[in-house]
Structure 1
Amino acid sequence: MPLSECIEACEQAHRACTESVIHGLQHGGKAAEWELVQLLLDCADINETAADFMLRSSRLHHLTCQVAAEVSDKCATACEKLSKEDVRLKECAEACRRAATACRKTIKN
């Protein structure tokens, strides 16, 4: 997988997680619970960092991609639990899964 595809997937996950935090805080309920908000923020940050490492051709990008894949999977699982109640979280889960998959493919290459 080209790095450009992984960068795009990480950027999309960053955006989806950030938007989901705002959405959850505005609408309340389970989407605003601290544990989920914290995970969404962690996922947004690590995906942004992974994308930055790849953009600057860091020789260490495989390390940030590995962490991004793990955090993105955890975030996707958490969002999927609420996805029937909240379309925004369903979309976030999908973006996180794509980022995790893209990061793992990048690590293997």
Structure 2
Amino acid sequence: MHHMSTEMQACIEECLRCHSTCLSMAMNHCLEVGGQHVEPAHFKLMMACAEICQTSANMMLIGTHHHKHTCRECAEICEECAASCDAVGGMEACAVDLH
């Protein structure tokens, strides 16, 4: 069995946590609050963030060297999403890494 580094394991866990947070916030908080929270650019960014986080975790779990590509894109999308959540306001769970 392939031994995974503790750094890789931590990254997988963080990706899965982010996936869960983004999807849950989008489908519950954002849909309930409405307004800027469901503005298409913001909402699509949240969905893209959830999706790329899950994909990145999967690529690392598969053990393919291609995870470096998905993880690079994941970091970029996560930063953009956190900034958007921070700008919309009331989404501290999503914007936590900015402060």
Q: Name the TM-score, length of structure 2 as normaliser.
A: 0.86
| Structural RMSD (CA) | 1.5
**How far did residue 12 of structure 1 move?**
0.9
Q: 2:53 aligns with which of 47, 51, 54?
A: 47
- 1:1-109 alignment, distance < 5 Å: 2-22=7-27, 23-83=29-89, 86=90, 89-94=91-96, 97=97
Counterparts of 1:59 and 1:34, CA distance in 2: 33
Aligned residue pairs total 92
| Aligned residues with identical type, % of pairs | 32
Deviations 1:24-72 (A, max 9, x none): 1122121111111100000000010000000111111111000000000
Unaligned stretches of 5+ in structure 2?
1-5
Counterparts of 1:57 and 1:9, CA distance in 2: 17
Counterparts of 1:29 and 1:90, CA distance in 2: 17
**How far did residue 82 of structure 1 move?**
2.4
Counterparts of 2:19 and 2:95, CA distance in 1: 12
Q: Name the TM-score, length of structure 1 as normaliser.
A: 0.78
Structure 1 segments (4+ residues) deviating >4 Å: none
1 or 2 for the larger relative contact order (CA 8 Å, sep ≥6)?
A: 1
